[in-house]
Amino acid sequence: MILVTFISVLMIGGIMAWVAASWSNLASRWISLITLLIDFILAISIWMNNASTPWIEKFYAPWIPNFGINFSLALDGLSLLMLLLTFFLGILGVLISWNEIQYRVGFFHFNLLWVLAGISGVFLTMDLFLFYFFWEVMLIPMYFLIGIWGHENKRYAAFKFFIFTQASGLLMLLAILGLYFVHKNNSGVGTFDYFQLLGTQMSLSTSRWLMFGFLAAFIVKLPVVPFHTWLPDAHSQAPTAGSLILAGLLLKTGAYGLIRFVLPLFPEASAEFAPWAMLLGVVGILYGASLSFAQTDLKRLIAYTSVSHMGFVILGVFAFNSLAMQGAVMQMITHGITSGALFAIAGILYERIHTRDINAMGGFWVKAPFMGVTTLIFVLASLGLPVLGNFIAEFLTLIGSWQANQTLTILATTGIVAATAYSLRIMQKVFLGKTLNEKTMTDLSLREKLVFVPLIAAIIWLGLFPQKVLNTTKPMIDKSFKTEQTTLNQKDNGIQ
Amino acid sequence: MEVSAEYGLLLASVLFILGMIGVLIRRNIIFMLVCVEIMLNAAGLAFIVAGSKWVQADGQVMFIFILTMAAAEVSVGLALILQIYHQLKTLDEDAASSMKG
Amino acid sequence: MNLLIIPALPLLGSFILIVVGSRLPKRMIPLVGAGSVGLSALATLILGYRFISASLTSLNVIAWQWMDINGLSPAIAFHLDALSLVFIFVITFVGFLIHVYSAEFMVHDEGYARFFAYLNLFVCSMLTLVLADNLVLMYLGWEGVGLCSYLLIGFWYTEEKNGYAARKAFIVTRVGDILMAFGLFLLFQTFHTLNIQEIAGQATQQWTVGSHTAFVISLLLLGGAVGKSAQLPLQTWLPDAMAGPSPVSALIHAATMVTAGVYLIARMHVVFEFAPEVLMIVGIIGAATLVMAGFAALTQYDLKRVLAYSTISQIGYMFLALGVSAWSAAIFHFMIHAFFKALLFLAAGAVIEALHHEHDMFKMGGLKNKLPVVYWTFLVGAGSLAAFPLITGGFYSKDQILWLSLASEHGNIWFFLMALLGALITSIYTFRMLFLTFFGKENTPVSHVPGSSMNIPLIVLAVLSTVGGFIELPHTFGHLTVFSDFLNPILPSVTVQEDLENFEWLIQLVAALVALSGVGLAYFFYIYKPELSDELKSSAADLHSFWLSGWGFDKLYDRLLVRPFVYLSNINKKDIVDKFYDGLVMIAEWVNRMLSYTQSGILRWYLMGIVIGGIVLMALALL
Amino acid sequence: MQVAFYIAALVAVISTIMVITRFNIIHALLYLVVSFMAMAVVFFILGAPFAAALEVIVYAGAIVVLIIFVIMMLNQKEEAVTQEKKWLTPMVYVGPAILSALMMGELVYIIYVGESHAVGQHVVDVKELGKTLYGPYILAVELGGMLLMAGIVGAYHLGRQKKKVIHRFLKEKED
């Protein structure tokens, strides 16, 4: 039941925030904040009491029984972590837009909360039809967020985002229907239930096609080069909270989908596709890095770093071992925090100096040392410095993918050198060097500190004490790699 | 009174095609309307031929319906032509192209 | 006494300074910064005393389990043995002295608190690096020191070129770091552990000498070491790193961080011993670097750049020693080098500050009497660097390397000759530096005389760099082996080729003569007949500028790597992939336009369309 | 009788050709009347006397008269004829001619692949026609009645001389 609460609280809160805005914008903000806090505390309490069973919580209610569609939710370690991240970043998203958004405040918060509700739904559903439903629920409010509150080129960006994700989502819908009918032909039972569909028998070519359907939606969301071009536009045009949620959460739904659906539903096909997927990941890492290095628009630059970092996720997921998978999950979380924080900084800078062009920035450290230190920490996180969470993620991913494919791992690791180059470039151009634009520059306000201190704490905590997180996903990952572990061991024995 | 059915149909086709040519080549709306009448009439002829072949009344029934329709069509069409002429001050059909894409 | 306290204290200091540094009164800042390192040094002394008196071989402390996934279970755990004890001793003591020195040196700087915060963070990272009991934690320290180096090189961040130097340092060392990371991956794949002791244990069980895996792994680890220690071919960042404040150059880019590579190889010597080819490569890199950097140092104008190249060269000696399996000789030279090079940098810093931030040696001169303390301590340091016979620490440490480069069972005559050549150049450029700076006529007036807070560290380091040498004396006289005995449980002693044993005195004599003749040459060219050196310079102008630019490596890398990367990323700024989608959009728009042309508003066209459709349909029906 | 059919057919075709090629619309309408008359003869020959009568009354009578009235209302003058001449150029009729030829070919082919039948032996008289019309087709007759009604109302509404009314959307544009 608590799983339904997660989603319904957000949806009701969203409507309330909308309604409340007709009296007072402040009420709308507070309602959103409280809504998210409730969810966050609920999620934390589950996390604290979590047993090491794969499935922590399940909910089931028939919806359209004729077609085997159920309102089926379930929570495991991965979903739990993603939910925590969702609510955490959601809270920060509300805080960061406290002053930024002054136009149609109620509708903004409605959209914000509904995006989050859609994302939570995506992380929780175990019914493919419902999954598609939530997939769309998170898409449309996001479209509004970009299209209404975005920057100068918002309509283009919003359309691009919508068309990319919608087109790929429809391919997934086709694949879902395909899977439904394959299962119906096999067993005579038409169902969209994840657990029942898990062991569906099908020929390799069928499963290959169906997998590509799912993959289309997920790798566009992730995004994987060459399907990434919506991302820089959407990220750079979205309002700060929008960028935060896009980078921090929406991209993760793609990765989550890979882990939750693609690998378990189509094990053979995805194993077959794995080297190509890893190659795509590596291409993403390097290509994203090289593009990021060339950008002069700060938000665009950060957006391309996302392309680069999400390359590690697909690399890790398709390396097919638990180390890399843990790394990929970790990367999802840490990238959510890091890129969210960097976008928040870009947003704050934009509020102060009204430009995103890094050539118009420089030497802000003098005026804003707190912001400088904050940025430094997240820039370092983005280049994978140990002590910060991203290092754990990248290290685990790479050490895992090394077992799978050494050449690609070497290439991916060179991406870290490139990451150093582009990350330090942010620092250099914005905070170091000659002081520009200093008049309008002020250090972080208390509210903004309230946003960044938890982010800093989280990223350092993840870097030093990742075990709690790793334990949370361990049952789920161990379960999926039981067979793989034994083969890996055999292979190692062969080497020795 | 024996006539081969093919000739009847052939006549209908020829008249129909002539009407069609008229519609396609004339720009004057009244001409086009007239040519449409010719085409309708040709269609009616085809029905009559068919009815005559089967010795059934249905062919003529259809002709009567076509006739009815033609009458209604002409009356409405002419009214439209009047309106068009009032609006555009010309009978040129190409001038009535404000709905172009 | 808990081992944890040693890295924890500087971390705490750094934390305090970062969080409340801007609000602390100015007096408190060095108290926190230097105090925390001082306490850490004290703790090291106490711990070291207990360690030696209890004759322990190692001490392990686990702070907490970092992560634990299917066999990969690195902990935040520290391992103290003789090798790391030497290192933490040098780090905390030299670090403390440099902190004390900085308290005066940096006092007028705006980022006073920031400076100490970074410096403390550096000490903490460096301690983590040398104390780590597993390679992942070591990597943490490894990257941590890289970060601090970046932050401190770019400390004066308003200058664009400082930022560039800082980034260069970070990125170039990162190239080495990823090689090391590959080594880690391969080690984990091979042994399913990254704990250093376990690796050593398993390596001896599973490998035989010349094993291919051992070869690859040690080569990769060497890559990491080369990057951090600024050896060929990744040495280019260090001369530029002199953009940082002088205490930073002393601590990070002379005494401690740059020797992390030496530490890594010494720490992983078990692995390296299974790959003699790699050890050979280590030796070759060392020998080549020491000669190359020596020649580059000969031509520099900037006082700190001379010292930077000299550091590269001296680390080359350490690598050479490692390459011939003379482990303890390398560590011994590391320690002595830390003392005298820190001293030289600090003294150089004092000189530069005294002359209004003038770096060019040719604009200095005659400072002998103006800055007596600095002069005398610099002289001691220079003597040690040039290995002035018998009375300096540098003589004993370098002599050991010279001797072993020939006499060790892995040594050969070429290594020895290179080392000897290096020694000659070293003493020439060292005394060139000394003569140009302190002798001759005064070119720039002295504006600032260092106070006691700067002088005391100089004097202490001068004493240490002299006395330090006497704890390890060669066979030919004294035969004192305190240092190598101390290290013996960790680092095996070197095997000397039997037929050479009796020639050690000869080598020492040659080395001493070479050092002295170097001093003599420097005297001849820069004091006795300065015009001769100018002539020499102009007669070989090409060679001079080639050496001045550090053998053109910068230009090479710039052309080969940096520019292509920047060029490629800049031409693709707009993302070529997006063009594809733009193309799709264009096609859609074109089709749309074409279709809307058909809706011309001309009735006859529509009729024509209907007719054509009718024709086609009928044709289809007929067919 | 066959001869009568051929003559009537010939007259119908020639007069129709004349209709579509005239520049003066009144001339065209006169040919149209001839064409309809010839058609009435054909109907008669084919054994549909009632249809022939209707053809004359409704087509040649009512419809043509209606068109003539409209032409009179529009007051077409000499310039209308010259206008027509200008409009009817080879460029305009070549394309339709080719299409029509194609279609004609297809129609001829369709007609001649079928079996040959003789028609016109029997007269389908009015009684039979009335029975069918008011029997199975009664619904269609009623619909036809409604169509005519709608036609009348529509024609009245559209043909009313009223003040030039422009749709509000167009009005905005005009401003």
Determine, for residues C76 and A485 on separate chains, whether the beta-carbon distance falls below 8 Å.
no
Q: Is A206 on the interface with C (CB under 8 A)?
A: no
ipTM of the complex: 0.78
A199 contacts chain C (CB < 8 A) = no
The pLDDT > 90 percentage for chain B reads 37
pLDDT tops 50 at residue A487: no
The DSSP H or E segment spanning A128 is helix A128-149
Which of C62, C125, C185 best probes binding to A when mutated, by most A CB atoms within 10 angstroms?
Answer: C185
Residues 6+ apart with CB under 8 A from D47: B1, B52, B55, D119, D120, D121, D122, D123, D124
Q: Are residues C417 and C313 in the same domain?
A: yes
C38-97 pLDDT, tens digit per residue, is: 888 888 888 888 888 887 778 888 888 888 887 788 888 888 888 888 888 888 888 888
- Asked if the model's pLDDT at residue A51 lies above 70, the reply is no
- Chain B's closest residue to C595, CA to CA, is B101
**Cross-chain Cβ contact D96/C608 below 8 Å:** yes
pLDDT for res A87 = 92
Q: Please report the pLDDT score of residue A36 as a whole number.
A: 92
Q: Do A434 and C575 touch (CB under 8 A)?
A: no
Domain boundary among C487, C507, C539: C539
- Residue B5 located in a structural domain: no
In chain D, how many domains are there?
Answer: 1
pLDDT of residue A134 exceeding 80, the answer is yes
Instruction: Report whether C269 contacts C328 (CB < 8 A).
Output: no
Report whether pLDDT(A496) > 70: no
Q: Calculate how close chain C gets to B93, using CA atoms only, in Å.
A: 7
Chain C interface includes A395 (CB < 8 A)? yes
Q: Residue A226: is the preceding peptide bond cis (ω within 30°)?
A: yes
> Among all chains, which residue has been given the structure tokens 């990125």?
C171
**Contact at CB, B32 and C603, closer than 8 angstroms:** yes
B69 touches chain D (CB under 8 A): yes
Q: Are residues C361 and C435 in the same domain?
A: yes
Contacts of C601 in chain B (CB under 8 A): 94, 96-101
Chain D touched by B71 (CB under 8 Å): yes
C15 touches A at CB < 8 Å: no
For residue D77, what is the domain's CATH number?
A: 1.20.120.1200
Give residue A494's pLDDT: 41
Q: What is the least distance, in Å, from the CA of A87 to any CA of chain C?
A: 25
Instruction: Show the DSSP H helices in chain B as ranges.
Output: 5-25, 29-54, 58-88
pLDDT band for C247, please (50, 70, 90 cuts).
confident
Question: DSSP letters along A203-245, please?
Answer: -HHHHHHHHHHHHHHHHHHTT-TTS-THHHHHHHHS-HHHHHH
C573 near A CB under 8 A: yes
- In a domain, residue C444? The reply is yes
- Can you tell me the mean pLDDT for C318-345? 86
Q: In B, residues 7-66, which contact C (CB 8 Å cutoff)?
A: 20, 23-25, 27, 32
- Poorest-pLDDT segment among A174-178, A435-439, C190-194: A435-439
* Length of chain D (residues): 175
Q: What is the mean pLDDT of residues D62-91?
A: 83
SS3 track for C209-245: CCCHHHHHHHHHHHHHHHHHCCCCCCCCHHHHHHHCC
Do A426 and A358 contact (CB within 8 A), yes or no? yes
Beta strands at A69-76 and D118-119: parallel, antiparallel or unpaired = unpaired
Contact: C601, B100; criterion CB under 8 Å: yes
Q: How far apart are CA A330 and CA C316, in angstroms?
A: 40
How much of chain C exceeds pLDDT 70, in percent?
100
Residue C241 pLDDT greater than 70, yes or no: yes
What average pLDDT does chain A have? Answer: 87
Kindly indicate the confidence band of residue B13, based on its pLDDT and cuts at 50, 70 and 90.
very high
How confident is the model over A436-460, as a mean pLDDT?
Answer: 83
Are C377 and C465 members of one domain? yes
Please tell me what DSSP assigns to residue A438.
Answer: G
pLDDT exceeds 70 at position C330: yes
Give how far Cα A347 sits from Cα of A103, A277, A449, Å: 16, 33, 14
Compute the nearest-CA separation of C143 from chain A (Å).
6
Nearest 10 degrees: CA dihedral of A423, A429, A432, A437?
-140
Alpha carbons within 13 A on the beta-carbon side of C404: 27
* pTM attached to this predicted model: 0.84
For C450-466, write each residue's pLDDT tens digit: 777 888 888 888 888 88
Does A491 have pLDDT greater than 60?
no
Looking at every residue in chain C, the average pLDDT score rounds to 84
Question: Per mean pLDDT, which range of A68-72, A365-369, A492-496, B71-75 is the poorest?
Answer: A492-496
Touching A (3+ Cβ pairs <8 A), the chains are C
Q: Using the beta-carbon criterion (under 8 Å), do C619 and D106 form an inter-chain contact?
A: yes
Q: Is C360 helix (H, G, I), strand (E, B) or coil?
A: strand
A491 versus B49: the higher-pLDDT residue is: B49
| Structure confidence at residue A40 (pLDDT) | 92
- Domain presence at residue C291: yes
Q: State whether residue C161 sits within 8 Å of chain A by CB.
A: no
Element (H, E) at D109: helix D90-113
Residues of B in contact with D48 (CB under 8 A): 48, 51-52, 59-60, 63
Which of helix, strand or coil describes residue C58?
strand
Residue B3, beta-bridge partner list:
D119
For range C474-503, the mean pLDDT: 76
Copy the structure tokens of residue C68.
């634990």
Q: Which residues of C touch D102 (CB under 8 A)?
A: 615
Q: Are residues C513 and C604 in the same domain?
A: no
Q: Do chain A and chain D touch with ≥3 beta carbon pairs under 8 Å?
A: no
| Inside any domain, residue B7 | no
What pLDDT is stored for residue D116 in this prediction?
74
Q: What is the pLDDT of residue D169?
A: 66
Whether residue C463 is found in the same domain as residue C586:
no
For residue range A250-300, what is the model confidence (pLDDT) as tens digits? Answer: 999 999 999 888 888 888 888 888 899 999 999 999 888 888 888 888 888
Domain limits for position B68: 27-91
pLDDT at A33: 92
**Average pLDDT of span C152-157:** 85
Cβ of C612 under 8 Å from any chain D Cβ?
yes
- Residues A472 and A47 sit within 8 Å (Cβ to Cβ): yes
Q: What is the pLDDT of residue A175?
A: 92
Instruction: Give the mean model confidence (pLDDT) for residues C471-476.
Output: 76
The answer on C431 and C290 residing in a single domain is: yes
Q: Does D50 touch chain B (CB under 8 A)?
A: yes
* Nearest CB partner across the interface for C596, out of B23, B98, B101: B101
Range with the lowest mean pLDDT among A85-99, C13-27, C222-236, C497-511? C497-511
Q: Chain C neighbours among A 122-161 (CB < 8 Å)?
A: 160
Answer whether C345 touches A (CB < 8 Å): no
Give chain C positions within 8 Å (CB) of A417. Answer: 171, 174-175, 178
Domain shared by C467 and C588, yes or no: no
Q: What is the pLDDT of residues A80-94, one digit of tens each?
A: 889 999 999 999 999
Shared domain for C486 and C594, answered yes or no, is no
Residue C504, phi then psi, degrees to nearest 5: -60, -40
Does any domain span residue C529?
A: yes
Nearest-5° angle of CA A189, CA A192, CA A194?
110
Range of the domain at D53: 2-174
Q: Do C618 and D103 touch (CB under 8 A)?
A: yes
Helix (H, G, I), strand (E, B) or coil at D160: coil
Q: What is the mean pLDDT of residues A487-491?
A: 46
| Pair (C361, C465) in one structural domain | yes
Q: How many domains does chain C have?
A: 2
Q: Are residues C526 and C600 in the same domain?
A: no
Q: In this complex, which of A322, A387, A416 lies closest to C69 when CB atoms are compared?
A: A322
Query: Domain span at residue C504?
Result: 280-539
Q: Best residue in C70, C72, C114 to probe A by mutation, most A CBs within 10 Å?
A: C70
Contact across the interface for B65 and D104, Cβ inside 8 Å:
no
Instruction: Tell whether the model's pLDDT for residue C548 goes beyond 80.
Output: no
Q: What is the DSSP string of A310-364?
A: HHHHHHHHTT-SHHHHHHHHHHHHHHHHHHHHHHHHHHHHHHHHS--BGGG---T
Of C31 and C359, the structure prediction assigns the larger pLDDT to C31
Count of structural domains within chain B: 1
Q: Which amino acid is at C359?
A: H
More confident residue, D121 or C196: C196
> Any chain D CB within 8 A of the CB of C610?
no
Q: Where are the domains of chain A?
A: 2-491
Q: What digits encode the pLDDT tens for the residues C252-296?
A: 888 888 888 888 888 888 888 888 888 888 888 888 888 888 888
- Which residue of chain D has the CA closest to C620? D106
User: Could you give the percent of chain B with pLDDT greater than 70?
Assistant: 97
Any chain A CB within 8 A of the CB of C564?
Answer: no
Tokens 């890399």 -> residue: A324
| CA distances from residue A101 to A23, A112, C469, D67 in whole angstroms, order as listed | 16, 12, 68, 67
Question: Tens digit of pLDDT for each residue in C388-430?
Answer: 877 778 888 888 888 888 877 777 888 888 888 888 888 888 8
Domain membership flag for residue B4: no
C343-386 pLDDT tens trace: 888 888 888 888 777 777 777 777 777 778 888 888 888 888 88
Q: How far is residue D137 from each of residues A368, B43, B51, B58, measured CA to CA in Å?
A: 90, 19, 15, 9
Round to the nearest angstrom and report the end-to-end CA distance of chain B.
54
Instruction: Count contacts between B and D (CB, < 8 Å).
Output: 246
C622 vs D110: CB contact, 8 Å cut-off? yes
